[in-house]
Amino acid sequence: MKNSTAENYAEKAAFFAHEIKNPLAVIKANVQLIELDNKGVNEKSFKTVYECIEKINGLIKENMEYIKNAEKAAESNVVQILKHILEKYEAEGIRQISFKSDKECVDVNCSSELLESLFENIIKNSVEATKDGDSISVEVKIRRKKAVIKVTDTGCGISEAELARVGELFYTTKKGGSGVGLFMCRRIVEQNGGKLKVENNRPKGTKVTVELNIKE
């Protein structure tokens, strides 16, 4: 699923920038040749032409930067982001993580940078809570217009008393932890119109469920 309106604007702008670049280069080269052949003739006009060309080139550069940033922000396929995170763990020799998704492409209303930060924190917590013989599963499901991402582990789990405080700023159950990670995760999800839930995974372990809106 793609953000068609944003992508259409980006495609049109990219096409315009590409198409106008070559003619501008030709104009500039020809003006330089004319100037060489007509030293001292109408120098003010040549200067004006140069200034206009440089101004247009500047606009093109700004436009291309805008397009790059828009494309980066629009790159919010949560499936690809999760796969990228899990590939890094696999490269480190951590192979107890399974993954499955209803679809290959699930675009959600959240930037790629925030999605990566969100799920790196959640998956890291599961990795740190598990040991040899334990397992972690990451699952993406579509529920109406929502993407439901569940990260479940069979690690040490969280007590009921601690569970009530999970996600509070500076509260942590980990030795040497800052108590900021899960708090930031909750903020990211809620500020993007979603929900985050932490619960015990019976008979042992923890389950974190993230619900995000799918892009129209």
Same domain (yes/no): 89, 68: no
Q: What pTM was estimated for this model as a whole?
A: 0.62
Looking at 74, 102, 123, which one is the last position of a domain?
74
Q: How many domains does the chain have?
A: 2
Backbone angles phi, psi at 151, to 5 degrees: -115, 110
Check whether 67 has a pLDDT greater than 80: no
Confidence band of 83 (pLDDT split at 50, 70, 90):
very high
Same domain (yes/no): 59, 92: no
Same domain (yes/no): 131, 200: yes
**Whole domain around residue 55: which residue ranges?**
4-74
Cis peptide before 203 (omega within 30 of 0): yes
Comparing CA positions, the residue from 165, 180, 95 lying closest to residue 130 is 95
Within 8 A by CB and 6+ apart from 79, the residues are 101, 103, 104, 105, 106, 140
Q: What is the pLDDT of residues 44-56, one digit of tens each?
A: 666 766 776 777 7
Check whether 43 has a pLDDT greater than 90: no
Same domain (yes/no): 61, 136: no
Same domain (yes/no): 23, 62: yes
Looking at 14, 46, 74, which one is the last position of a domain?
74
Please give the share of the chain, as a percent, with pLDDT higher than 70. Answer: 61
Confidence band of 187 (pLDDT split at 50, 70, 90):
confident
Q: What is the pLDDT of residues 140-169, one digit of tens each?
A: 999 989 999 999 999 887 777 676 657 555
Max Cα distance, the chain (Å): 88
Among 17-21, 36-40, 131-135, which range has the highest average pLDDT?
Answer: 131-135
Backbone angles phi, psi at 15, to 5 degrees: -65, -45
| pLDDT computed for residue 179 by the predictor | 46
Q: What is the pLDDT of residues 107-120, one digit of tens each?
A: 998 888 889 989 99
